[in-house]
Amino acid sequence: MPSSAVQGVPDTQLGLTPEEIQLLRQGQATLGNGSSSSRAASRASSQGILLLDSSSLAQLSRYFDSLMSQVQRRMEYLSEQSAMFTETQYDRAGNLIEAADAEIARFHEILRQLDELEEDFDRISNIRDIVRGYRSRVETMERDLESSGGSTGEKPVSSLRFDAKFGGLEQCPNYNP
């Protein structure tokens, strides 16, 4: 090879993966639109050779520096977008948790009120049953008095008293109105 001839090395001997070789060839082909050395690099690329002249290597180096800069900017942009998305989701999750906590507290309050109402219902039911029992006894005693009291037309005064010991009404035998 004459001394003015540009030396090259097969790109398959550079220790690159097939994907990296493809990127190298794309870079050389992209640069092939410029100067004569760029066109020579492009031709070499199509033959699978990396030219080892300083001009071609400098252009290729600048190309990959520019490409890396673009990739880095894109990565930074996507990282920012990812951080913003994560923060938004975190805020939403926080709001959902706060809302869920508020609903849980509201639910617990409803359950507490239901428990109170059940207790009130049981108490009122018990009182109602006692009142019904007294009413039934009073009505029975009044009927008994009416049937035994004669026909004066006046309603007899009840001779009932509350017996605290037995928790009920009883007729007072010695009551005379």
Count of other CB atoms within 10 angstroms of residue 35: 13
Cβ neighbours for 6, distance < 8 A, ≥ 6 positions apart: 40, 51, 52, 53, 56
Instruction: Give residue 171's pLDDT band: very low, low, confident or very high (50, 70, 90).
Output: low
Mean pLDDT, rounded, for 143-166: 63
Q: Which of 87-91, 110-114, 126-130, 170-174 has the lowest mean pLDDT?
A: 170-174
What pLDDT sits at residue 137?
94
Question: Domain residue spans in the chain?
Answer: 8-74
Tell me the pTM.
0.48
Task: Supply φ then ψ for residue 155, to 5 degrees.
Answer: -80, 125
**pLDDT (tens digit, 9 = 90+) per residue, 95-121?**
999 999 999 999 999 999 999 999 999
Q: Is the pLDDT of residue 172 over 80?
A: no
- pLDDT value for 154: 53
Query: pLDDT of 53-81, one tens digit each?
Result: 788 788 888 989 999 999 999 999 999 99
In this structure, what token pair is assigned to residue 123? 């108490």
Length in residues, the chain: 177
Report CA-CA distances (Å) from 104 to 18, 47, 108, 115: 58, 71, 6, 16
